Structure 1
Amino acid sequence: MSRLATIDLGAISRNVETLRAASGRITSMAVVKADGYGHGAVPSARAALEGGADWLGVATIEEALELREAGIEAPILAWLHETDATFPLAVLRDIDLGVSSLVQLEAIASLTPAVGIHLKVDTGLGRSGATPEDWPALVAAAAAHERAGRVRVRGVWSHLSNAGEEADLEQVARFAAALDVVAASGVEPELVHLAATAASLRLPEARFTMVRFGIGCYGLSPFGDATSHDLGLTPAMTLSTTVASTKRVPPGQGVSYGFRYRTAGETTLALVPLGYADGVPRSASGRGPVSINGVTYRVAGTIAMDQFVIDVGDDAVATGDRVTLFGDPATGVPSADEWALAAGTINYEIVTRIGQRVRREYV
């Protein structure tokens, strides 16, 4: 029995190169937060750098420290900080820090040596970042600290909402206004970044001097109207296991909790040893696709914590046969997008939620 996520590192490298070419080969950041969107942060980071990424992006300082401990020396930005953030360790390990408030700025500016900071303005997403009202004071304080040698204002940035072109262009305009405040302060950041994968591909106005590649690094599309193949990307993760057991059952056999599924006739049930404890979404019960011996089946009944069932009819499916939940659809298996549709979610969540009980294998 083998719960296995096979990660194609070559695909990650090629995906980064494809994204770089599509966005004009400007400075790029590969985002490897959340354990590389479930693919493994350190191997994914190395593969992305091999593909030409200039920077790495993570949410937390702890994620950045993991990369440093692995010997990765590329520039790293960490941006999501709690009140007990380990700023001193970040400074010692040369990790750039996102700054969204005066409180964060003052805590960082009190440390030595001076660290690179990326000032974040909230352009409308309503999450982190200084509001337009607080932005001038944050910029002025950062400029003063930079003149005193306490910080290096290396970047200015924000996040788009991906709520449609009109909304994104409104955010671009707000970001441009925020940059005017920065210019008036005398600060000259080398990195100005707003676009992630979606905007880097479809919104040239948002590219500025750096783009951030997130889901695209892993070969998945951020769009509902374009597949990975359409974008020239290759999904890097294949999730598979083996059939744990099979049994012949009569018509009317109830399957899994709640008997949401009953067999229509005499049939064979195959037990698949993956469940919601492994990140397989329970909400895809009765709908999630799998491939066995080149044939696609749907989950029969409820996905349980450790397992689910497939009704394979009279097909010759045996214990030990490989079961692929998702991978590169070009190889004839289901995609993470199909699982996202079955679960009522997005492909980001499908790959990121795959748990540690699933072994990662890198090829």
Structure 2
Amino acid sequence: MDELTAPRLEMSRARYQQNLAALQRQLAPSQLMVVMKDDAYGHGVEWAVDAAVEAATPVALFGGYDVSTALRIRARAPQARIFVWVTSPDDEIRTALASDIDLGVGTLPYLRRIVAVARDVGTTARVHLKIDTGLHRNGVRPEDWPAFIAEAMAAQNDGVIDVVGVWSHLAEASDAEDDDAAAEFARAVASLESAGARPVARHLTASAASWWRPELRGSVSRIGAFCYGVRSADGPEIPGVAPVAALRAPVIDVLDDHVVISVGALHGIPSTIAGASVGTPGGARVLRHVGAVTSAVEVWPGARQGQDVTVFGPGADGESDATALAERIDTVGEEILTRLTPRVRRVVTD
């Protein structure tokens, strides 16, 4: 399939920067951390970092998830602070420390490995200690927290680490459960500070809770999907934030009752979205079937080869965003975007 007929994910630089500005206004004085996991939610790390650091209010804090992503960010944003939270092997710890990357630490064995590597290379590791506030996604249990921070502070007193942050994840299952988690987080921060730490980065909330529960925000808010205009499944629209991306595929054949478009399951489109509404030059039409590399769409008057069909995205009569499409198959918009393979060209507009 050549470039003229290949499907493409069109990404608006202007819309992305508008989203970042809206988030910065909404979250202030909490600092926006732009999260870049899964290749910036399928949009591509490099262009997303470039646009973020060139925004009217430049982004200075990124979440890289893993060290390899953080290194891609560092190459485009040499002055930014970058936070990585996946547990990494020793060689990656060494690389992260050499690139001035902050490490999230949620277990005592991992803390000890970071201390050993930092001591070996003769540097001070910047770390964010993680308390498990109930989600059980990594993190030190409250009953183990005192011993954990005692060991961390001993390493800090030796100059091997610097405890610059404390963090956790919310379950976001209910307001009551999140309130309980926030109370546990506050106790963890208080005990850490009582032990002598002065963590400047305190972060508990991700996209949804950061926006809708301002009382739970810390000094930092980790925002992933909302930066790219991906709302929560079954969630409300986000004021001032809109989808960055639109998935479009050209018509490659016109038959009596349907057209064939150049996108299919091997591009990452779930076959189960058949039956969705897609945008065409003739208005909304039904996506009848998803094949391996092509799909069938209900025909419209005047259909011809080369016309674009919008599988999802703003400015069309079909599904307005990836989340609208995802809701049809009981998943989230992030999955629709991150499933898209390199067969789908990424094209930056404006």
So what's the TM-score if we normalise by structure 1? 0.89
Out of 227, 243, 247, the residue aligned to residue 239 of structure 1 is 247
Q: Deviations over 1:13-62 (max 9, x none)?
A: 11111011112242220001110000111211222332543310021011
* Whole-Å separation in 2 of the counterparts to 1:15 and 1:176: 30
Structure 2 residue ranges without an equivalent (≥5): none
Out of 96, 102, 109, the residue aligned to residue 103 of structure 1 is 109
* Whole-Å separation in 2 of the counterparts to 1:324 and 1:25: 38
Partner of 2:291: 304
Q: Deviations over 1:179-230 (max 9, x none)?
A: 12212211110010011111111112211211111111001222624124xx
Opposite residue 238 of structure 1, the aligned amino acid is: A
**How far 1:100 moved relative to its partner?**
0.7
Partner of 2:279: 291
Partner of 2:176: 166
Q: Percent identity?
A: 31
**How far 1:85 moved relative to its partner?**
5.8
Opposite residue 43 of structure 2, the aligned amino acid is: H
**How far 1:71 moved relative to its partner?**
5.0
Q: Is the 8 A contact 1:294 1:332 kept in 2?
A: no
Partner of 2:303: 317
* Whole-Å separation in 2 of the counterparts to 1:294 and 1:120: 53
Q: Is the 8 A contact 2:29 2:219 kept in 1?
A: no
Opposite residue 306 of structure 1, the aligned amino acid is: V
Q: Is the 8 A contact 2:265 2:293 kept in 1?
A: yes
Partner of 2:313: 327
Partner of 2:221: 211
* Whole-Å separation in 2 of the counterparts to 1:6 and 1:235: 11
SS at match of 1:134: helix
Q: 1:326 to 1:202 in 2, by over 3 A?
A: same
Q: Deviations over 1:327-358 (max 9, x none)?
A: 125x5452212211222211121122211111
Q: Is the 8 A contact 1:288 1:338 kept in 2?
A: no
* Whole-Å separation in 2 of the counterparts to 1:168 and 1:297: 41
Q: 1:71 to 1:227 in 2, by over 3 A?
A: closer
Partner of 2:47: 43
Q: Is the 8 A contact 1:289 1:338 kept in 2?
A: no
Q: Deviations over 1:112-162 (max 9, x none)?
A: 311211111111111111111222222111111111110111100001111
SS at match of 2:21: helix
Query: How does 1:1-363 map onto structure 2 within 5 Å?
Result: 1-49=5-53, 50=55, 51-83=57-89, 86-110=92-116, 111=118, 112-222=122-232, 224-228=234-238, 231-248=239-256, 268-285=257-274, 287-301=275-289, 303-312=290-299, 315-328=301-314, 332-335=317-320, 336-363=322-349
* Whole-Å separation in 1 of the counterparts to 2:340 and 2:35: 18
RMSD: 1.7
* Whole-Å separation in 2 of the counterparts to 1:155 and 1:24: 18
Q: 1:31 to 1:71 in 2, by over 3 A?
A: closer
Worse overlay, 20-29 or 318-327: 20-29
Aligned residues: 338
